[in-house]
A and B are shown apart, each in its own frame.
Chain A
């Protein structure tokens, strides 16, 4: 029995460009760089340059849900992106055959930092309200509760390649009949801790936040675009490190090259970080988008934006197919192919 392509039947995004896929697509396809703002950090007079998600145009209805009242921004972004991918239902109906794969790298850091600050001050009075929200799978749990999902819900962690591993996992679940539909969501929230940490390695790094979501279905469900392949991830433990890993990915996707294809890559606009990706993909024959250069680096959320943009670009018939390539910040590299169903 053979694997079938995976139908992409819904997209969602929350990004520094705004709430919704339309604003994400407009910013990246037109190269409208989002201005950076400052994030305060203790002990410094100057803040860190970051790209924040703007306030929503109106208060999202899902905030009335008891699970989400106290939840942190990462959960709000997760739910907003997922609901958009599901078609923004007023009242989400129970989805018994839906699986959820949630990805994050930094996780719910706002509450983690607050809780640990309290623990250091006096562990006897640290708030029990905060701790459950620090757990990495809290956003996925809230989303599952909102949607009534009782089937498989995984939280994948790792570097920014996790969402592409999630696409492959979703394909497995769909092709083996474990689920009828699958939401792949990735989300990150801004916090000075990781934003500061990244600048220890890349001085000009600009952190960002947000989420993206893809609603995937089995091949028989009609859709304008579909996932055709996800490469093997090549990790940086291999001899030659990230350069060889990215080159290995490039070799696996050589047959995906086409002048009418889009490459949605993970460059962030800092030459030292982008070197491996620039070298390996220098002969790409088609157009190339680098969303992180426009929106900032939101880790796994940026990677899922790449996937959302690829699907949106193919669905709009601007391109025949799109390649998503992620050279993860410290773990592995991986790529995926999205194509039109026509």
Chain B
């Protein structure tokens, strides 16, 4: 039962939630190794948009993924594989890597918790264009209608990997991926699940690109989070998936433990639909809750992967929140945003950035803040400006989204 009165479980001593598998695909490439190399160097991966005509947009670049060419997995017929949306492929690549690394088998149901903002929007766009230009021709329309939906994409991936189980989708805008991991952490921690496949995914679509462009949120120069000359965000696409389980489960299986999710906080900013509170009140609340759940103080955090979109308002509000959370300038940990490398991945951002924190903790290095050159008094933070090694045990990852959806995760090096 998902919930049953009288059932023992909720409130049991909190289990440690460990990561035994991690999958990632971004504009840097597919898989842990290529992404680790790219983030460690802070190598930007933007190019002119090729997925649709962007000639009439203010911004014309994005961090697009070159999807690997591959045959369908054994359980997926070719005709079904061809119907998969771009977002579905991104999700599959990340999930497959995490699944294989975790060494999970498909003998029992496994819960999936995913975050996305627009699922297969590009398929939805195709559906709409077809329905409005050829309303009496239905060929291909049922497939487009189905594969546009997030739940179909999850079913496809479960089928491809050979498992089934309950699926929950959180669509909390740009915090979706972090909320999904946080919710999975909550479920395992309070004894409601032993293993969960979780993360986030989103693909670039014309509607979303045009939307951010219409708001004049996209940079027309270069994405430069926390830099004095920052003029907007850049969009990217990708996916990251984590295999989470109790420490007891991982030890029983003899699995390699990559790291630990130690804390999670979620809050809501009611200031404005698209703008953060200038002092970052809700961001502060999420960060405080995450560190409290982890049972640590801000001084113990060695690195913050900031939401850092590169928009003037987000970065100054986040900087204010980080400063208030740390309490004093001397206690500020090193901070960087990795959106100058791969752009803003929206529903995937929180998950991808959690994996970046995991990589950094695992390898004991700090990802540089690509594009940062000039300090801004409104963002007075100890920014990581170049590749460097570090010794640290905890990292904090921030994700703040449209509609005031805020989430923070604390990750811990496992030793």
Contact = CB atoms under 8 A, between A and B. Distances in A.
Interface of A: 1-6, 41-44, 67, 105, 112-113, 115-116, 119-120, 122-124, 126-128, 131-132, 134-138, 140-142, 144-145, 148-159, 162, 165, 167-169, 171-172, 175-176, 193, 196-197, 200-201, 226-238, 252, 328, 330-332, 334
B308 to A, nearest CB: 20
A140 B179 CA distance: 15
A151 B266 CA distance: 7
A170 to B, nearest CB: 9
A124 B56 contact: yes
21 contacts: A43-B135, A123-B57, A123-B214, A124-B58, A136-B118, A144-B268, A153-B172, A154-B172, A157-B119, A158-B169, A171-B3, A172-B10, A172-B190, A176-B186, A193-B127, A228-B5, A232-B2, A232-B109, A237-B158, A237-B163, A330-B149
Contact of B210 (A4, A123, A138, A226): A123
Contact of A1 (B10, B151, B401): B10
B12 interface: yes
A238 B110 CA distance: 12
B207 to A, nearest CB: 5
Interface of B: 1-12, 54, 56-58, 109, 116-119, 125, 127-129, 131-132, 135-136, 138, 141-142, 145-146, 149-152, 154-155, 158-159, 163-173, 179, 183, 186-187, 190, 192, 206-207, 210-216, 266-270, 273-274, 281-282, 285, 401-405
A226 to B, nearest CB: 8
Nearest to A164: B2
Contact of B3 (A105, A142, A145, A172): A172
B402 A157 contact: no
A150 B285 contact: yes
Given A123-B56, A175-B11, A141 B168 contact: no
Given A1-B10, A128-B215, A165-B168, A197 B141 contact: yes
B142 A200 contact: yes
A330 B11 contact: no
Q: Which 4 A-B pairs have the closest CB atoms?
A: A43-B135, A141-B403, A1-B11, A131-B211
Given A137-B402, A176-B11, A330-B152, A153 B268 contact: yes
Of B8, B54, B154, B268, chain A has the most CB atoms within 10 Å of the CB of B268
Of B165, B168, B270, chain A has the most CB atoms within 10 Å of the CB of B270
Contacts of B405: 137, 141, 153, 155
Contacts of B158: 235, 237
Given A1-B10, A43-B132, A119-B206, A168 B171 contact: no
Given A127-B214, A200-B141, A155 B170 contact: yes
A226 B141 CA distance: 43
A157 B1 contact: no
A158 B150 contact: yes
Contact of B192 (A140, A172, A197, A228): A172
Given A231-B2, A236-B155, A126 B214 contact: yes
B268 A135 contact: no
Contacts of B6: 2-3
A152 B9 CA distance: 22
A242 to B, nearest CB: 11
A88 B97 CA distance: 50
B128 A3 contact: no
A127 B10 CA distance: 47
Given A3-B3, A150-B285, A176 B10 contact: yes
Nearest to A112: B207
Contacts of B183: 154, 169
B203 to A, nearest CB: 15
B267 A175 contact: no
Contact of B9 (A3, A41, A157, A201): A3
A142 B271 CA distance: 10
Given A113-B128, A158-B151, A229 B403 contact: no
Contacts of A229: 1, 3-5
Nearest to A219: B5
Given A149-B268, A229-B3, A131 B215 contact: yes
A155 B347 CA distance: 12
A168 B212 CA distance: 35
B274 A175 contact: no
Nearest to B125: A116
A141 B135 contact: no
A330 B270 contact: no
A120 B1 contact: no
Given A42-B135, A137-B171, 4 more contacts: A123-B56, A137-B173, A144-B268, A229-B5
A200 B135 CA distance: 12
